[in-house]
Structure 1
Amino acid sequence: MSRNSRRPRRCGAEPSRRSDEAFVTGILTDEADFARAREWQLTDAPDYDTYLREAAGLLAEAVAGYATVRARMFHPDDFADYCLLHGVDPGEQAARDGYLVNPPLQTQLVTYRGEDLADFVPRLVRAREGGLTLRHADLVMDGALCEAEPAAADPRVRWTYQQASEVFRRVLVGAGCGAYEFRVAVDAPGGPLEAHARVLHWEDGAVRIHDEDLDLITAVLCAGLYGELPGVAVLHGTQGSGAVCGEYRQVAWAWRSTGFDWSPAELAVDGVPAGPGFSLGTVV
């Protein structure tokens, strides 16, 4: 499901030179989606295993021929909605091209760097989920979340974004060094807004977290504060470091928000039970 129906090829005067253009494709990420997509003749593969082998080959050729290779999860429901909204025939190549580069869904694109397809596919699924969460949070904030950089936004949006970032910072600073998972959920119109991330907090204060996970957590916290929506959060994992006397302990802390601020509470998020966390107001 590339932006053209042919297999990728090198461009330019010399065959060995990479094209400066980007190559964009869509990947069916499970057998059920593959079965449904057959009605649109998106692939000639007789079965899903064959399709995956062909997709891996397509990506390998694209990496050799293009400077940038990106992909997104090709979701049949999303594609059908796109075709209905824009009045295009799902069997046409132009419909697939438009769907793949649809501006509102650009956050679902993931850069491919030659990894195994088995490792790449889960990233595509996660990117779609994250993209939908960002769109939902943006709707809660009346389009203010994605329309501009936080520094260029109106004062209320800028303040809310700063407050959301500060909430997450205080959670991590208060927890200290360790390996954690953070989960947050906000009761929003249209359904809950949820995000989670794995975090490594080193003893020197450095924090390791995927950028896309940080964006999602900040967006959910921001939407909750902007809409004054109730929410819950849990941080759980292993506190401690080998550099600090080798001491470790399992921890699980929780907080609840009324829509204005976050306070310690005993609750569970996504099946993870936790006791009351520390007061975020005491963390500097």
Structure 2
Amino acid sequence: MSRNGRARRTPDCTAAGPRPRVRPRAAAERAEGCERQRSEGAGQAFVIGVLTSAADFEQARAWQLSDAPDHERYLAETAELLGDARRRFDTVRARMFHPQDFAEFCLLHGLDPAEPAARERYLVNPPLRTQLLAYQGEELVDDFLPRLVRARENGLTLRHADLLLDGRLYGERDDAVRAAYERGAEVFRRMLLGAGSGVYELRLAVDAPGGRLAAAARVLQWEDGVVRINDEDLELLCAVLCAGLARELPGLAVLHGAQGSAAACGEYRQTAWAWASEGRVWTPATGPVRLDGVAAEPGYRLETVC
């Protein structure tokens, strides 16, 4: 979780080296192309792909990715491998190993999916770097796996936003994109600041060529203004806001949750605010709205929040 309002970028991986030794032919060691990466001028990093569901595990059997008898055992071996990697490497990163994505990647690049080199190329493919998450010892099944699934979905949205901006979201930003990104981050900051302390979810949708850009994030805001939000969710929200403002696309945002804090004798109030944009600025919705099943009333004027 992050305590600040800036999104981190995941550094690129470079050439692969030997794997750490856990046990011979461990499921994750073979299956997902887990690789030891060496960055120029930096320490060592370890990258692994994880089959996040039993269905994906079964689909990947044809490529002989794992010797584990079932997905449950595979996850146990993967958790052990991640723990060992944290002790051996400076950085440990993971991404969801999606069988359909991998098959399409191999078809596009003329690779044999049964070859380890194909898995290695898939894991460190630069256009998909936004799907990588740092592993910091989280519980694998109930915590880290859902984040890996969201990171893939978020990564596809980030790729869409980057294409809308002609590659300037993750490439060299010009003044217009840089200004739009800063304006979007400021919109998000004012939404939270006006809400006060509490536990919220922000849902965001921007109508864009090629399909809707959508983002959602859970946010915890303390009485002292400290905000806790997953870095990857913060990055997605700012990117979608940036694309909408830079391309002047219409959008809708809903912030809902429990307003209040333990300092106020544990009193909480359910709230839901909505804002809309015609492309240039975000203003309170003109009336009650519903976004992804969440009903909300017009929000407060953001320019009045300092």
Q: Into which bin does the TM-score normalised by the smaller protein fall?
A: 0.7 to 0.9
Map of 1:55 onto structure 2: 78
1:196 matched to which residue of 2? 216
Higher relative contact order at CA 8 Å, sep ≥6: structure 1 or structure 2? 2
When residues 227 and 121 of structure 1 are mapped into structure 2, their CA distance, relative to the original with a 3 A threshold, is: same
Distance 1:281 1:111 in 2: 36
Q: For 1:33-55, what per-residue CA distance to the aligned partner results, in whole angstroms no more than 9, with x for missing partners?
A: 11111111111222222222222
**Alignment root-mean-square deviation, CA:** 2.2
State which drifts further: 80-89 or 244-253: 244-253
> Counterpart in 2 of 1:70?
93
Match of 2:302 in 1: 280
Q: Distance in 1 between matches of 2:271 and 2:85?
A: 45
Identify the residue that residue 135 of structure 2 maps to in structure 1: 112
Shift of 1:86: 1.2
Q: Please give the secondary structure, in 2, of the residue aligned with 1:22.
A: strand
**1:270 matched residue in structure 2:** 292
Shift in Å, 1:4: 8.5
- After superposing on structure 2, the runs of 4+ consecutive aligned residues of structure 1 that deviate more than 6 Å are 3-7
Residues of 1 paired with 2:305 and 2:136: CA distance? 40
Q: Deviations over 1:12-51 (max 9, x none)?
A: xxxxxxx953222111000111111111111122222222
Query: What is the Cα deviation at residue 174 of structure 1?
Result: 1.7
Task: Return the letter of the residue paired with 1:8.
Answer: P
Q: Which residue of 1 aligns with 2:103?
A: 80
Per-residue deviation at 1:244?
4.2
Deviations 1:223-269 (A, max 9, x none): 11111111111011122233346543111111111112222222111
Residue 96 (structure 1) shift? 0.5
Residue identity matched to 1:269: L
Equivalent position amino acid for 2:20 in 1: P
Matched, 1:183 2:203: yes
Q: Structure 2 counterpart of 1:274, which letter? A: A
1:81, CA displacement in angstroms?
Answer: 1.6
Residue correspondence of structure 1 range 1-284 to structure 2 within 5 A = 8-9=20-21, 20-118=43-141, 119-148=143-172, 153-244=173-264, 247-265=267-285, 266-284=288-306
Distance of aligned partners of 1:177 and 1:95 in 2 relative to their CA distance in 1, 3 Å threshold: same
The alignment partner of 2:58 has SS state of: helix
Change (3 A) 1:4 1:281: closer
Instruction: For 1:104, give the aligned amino acid.
Output: P
Structure showing greater radius of gyration is 1
CA distance in structure 2 between the aligned counterparts of 1:222 and 1:76, rounded to whole angstroms: 31
Structure 1 residues 212 and 23: alpha-carbon distance in aligned structure 2, compared to 1, 3 A threshold: same
Q: Deviations over 1:182-208 (max 9, x none)?
A: 110111122111111122222222222
Q: Which amino acid in structure 2 is aligned with residue 192 of structure 1?
A: R
Q: What TM-score does the superposition give when structure 1 sets the normalisation length?
A: 0.87
Identity %: 64
Asked if 2 retains the 8 angstrom alpha-carbon contact of 1:9 and 1:65, the reply is no
Q: Deviation digits for residues 31-88 of structure 1, max 9, x if unmatched?
A: 1111111111111222222222222232233233333222111001111121112111
